[in-house]
Homo-oligomer: A and B are copies of this chain.
């Protein structure tokens, strides 16, 4: 497989906690934002799907916190996908500090798509995204 999709960004001071580091909960948001950008770059509009009643949902997340980001740090968030079953897909994601390529967070986020009746439903564009 080729290089993973990634977005670059910079820590915002309101994301820091009293320890002066990015609060653990914020990394989940970083990862979510990167997934949505990845989906959009691949023709899947999370927001547009939600309006049509197709909800992409996370059913499990596993996150390993290896190092902390601080004020001023720039970072990359990567996204790579894999099919886990007919209706489940996984996102392998990493948050890497730009200055020294230090791995800060490594994650596996597992999702599915639900239709308006709450049943698993992968629309054609989602299905195409995760391949075979």
Contacts and interface: CB of A to CB of B under 8 A. Distances in A.
Interface of A: 12-14, 16-20, 23-26, 28-29, 32-33, 36, 40, 45-47, 50-51, 55, 57-65, 70-72
Interface SS majority for chain A: mixed
B24 A28 contact: yes
27 contacts: A12-B29, A13-B17, A13-B33, A13-B36, A13-B47, A14-B17, A14-B25, A16-B18, A16-B47, A17-B18, A18-B20, A18-B50, A19-B50, A20-B47, A24-B28, A24-B58, A25-B25, A25-B26, A25-B28, A25-B29, A25-B32, A47-B71, A47-B72, A59-B65, A61-B65, A62-B62, A62-B63
Contacts of A32: 12-14, 24-25
A25 B29 CA distance: 6
